[in-house]
Amino acid sequence: MKKIKFYFQGESGAFSEEAGFKFFGPSSEGIPAENFVDVVKNVLRDKNSFGILPIENSSIGSIHSNYDLLLKYPVFIIGEINLIVKQHLIGLKEASIDKIKKIISHPAAIQQCQKFLNSLKKVKVDLSYDTAGSVKIIKEKNLIDTAAISSEISAKLYDMKILKRNIQDNDKNITRFIVISSKMRLPKKNPKTSIVFTLKNVPGALFRALSVFALRDIDLTKIESRPIPEKPFEYYFYLDFKGSIKQLVAINALNNLKEISSFLKVLGSYEENTIK
């Protein structure tokens, strides 16, 4: 039996890798990629692999660039993972928190820890390409006066010390990750579907679009708009609803939506991962 492979952005120990292991199990293989675009391109090149992308966080909102990738590339969402993200301040074994002069991490992690960072005096905060990658940089360069914001897993992986635990602003800091594939899969239970569409710029267009779901008692779990770059002040609408594209009620709703939309793409039907 072949080992399941998944690509993720960052270095070993990243939250995306943790999400991948949570979804596929510890016997799967996580393969680092430099950026999110490379994750998608690797999935399209290696047809039997999967990709893990963070798509939204309960504290800072959606990762819009990854929504744009779903629109641009022919990949499908086949699963989701809600991961409780605990951020820790990590340094060398001999480091102490009162001697730290600089903190580095991924922009999303820094956004999630603003209260803690604002409480510090004379500490510079710099952006890095990855949470776990920041820990790796400090280890490799032996930066005694620098700390990273990252996971407990990354501290153990690179044999580093946690200087302060749970520095995230919100104790219920949850990131939703999606699993992508070059092939669509349909869920066996608890179906959820993601779509993106555009509308003609006429009065009541959005009301009519949402009505195709409301009139059929289809539960919408998310709707978000994104600007269309080449069409100023026109928008893509990303929408999640409970149900599968194989269910008759959803088929009828999507057919109705096609009639009133300018563009419609199904991003995938997959099993909903409920937060417990």
Contacts of 40 (CB under 8 A, 6+ apart): 51, 53, 69, 73, 75, 180
Residue 74 and residue 92 in one domain: no
Answer whether residue 59 is part of any domain.
Answer: yes
In a domain, 29, yes or no: yes
137 and 121 share one domain: yes
Same structural domain for residues 159 and 263?
no
- At 274 the pLDDT is 74
User: Do both 57 and 157 map to the same domain?
Assistant: no
Question: How much is the pLDDT for 276?
Answer: 55
In the chain, the number of structural domains is: 3
| Domain with 15 in it | 5-84+173-181
CATH number of the domain to which 150 belongs: 3.40.190.10
Together in a domain, 217 and 104: no
Active site residue 241: no
Residues 214 and 256 in one domain: yes
Q: In terms of domains, do 218 and 263 share one?
A: yes
Is 276 inside any structural domain?
Answer: no
Q: pLDDT digit of tens for each residue in the chain (276 aa)?
A: 689 999 999 999 999 999 999 999 999 999 999 999 999 999 999 999 999 999 999 989 999 999 999 999 999 999 999 999 999 999 999 999 999 999 999 999 999 999 999 999 899 999 999 999 999 999 999 999 999 999 999 999 999 999 999 999 998 999 999 999 999 999 999 999 999 999 988 899 999 999 999 999 999 999 999 999 888 889 999 999 999 999 999 999 999 999 999 999 999 999 998 765
d(CA 21, CA 29) in angstroms, rounded, equals 8
Which two structure tokens, joined as six digits, stand for 211?
């009505």
- Same-domain check for residues 205 and 249: yes
Q: Which pLDDT score, from 0 to 100, does residue 1 have?
A: 67
Q: Which residues contact 6 (CB under 8 A, 6 or more apart)?
A: 20, 23, 24, 28, 29, 30, 31, 49, 50, 51, 52, 179
Task: Answer yes or no: do 61 and 177 share one domain.
Answer: yes
Q: Is residue 186 part of a domain?
A: no
Whether residue 217 lies inside any domain: the answer is yes
Tell which of 125, 156, 181 closes a domain. 181
CATH assignment at residue 205: 3.30.70.260
The catalytic residue among 177, 197, 237, 241 is 177
As a whole number of angstroms, the distance between CA 49 and CA 265 comes to 22
Residues 130 and 227 in one domain: no
- 197 with 131, same domain: the answer is no
Return the ∠ at Cα 78 (arms to 219 and 248), rounded to 5°.
Answer: 45
* Active-site annotation holder among 146, 175, 193, 198: 175
Residue at 250 is within a domain: yes
Query: Does residue 106 belong to any structural domain of this protein?
Result: yes
**Is 177 one of the annotated active-site residues of the chain?**
yes
Q: What pTM does this model have?
A: 0.92
Whether 136 and 258 share a structural domain: no
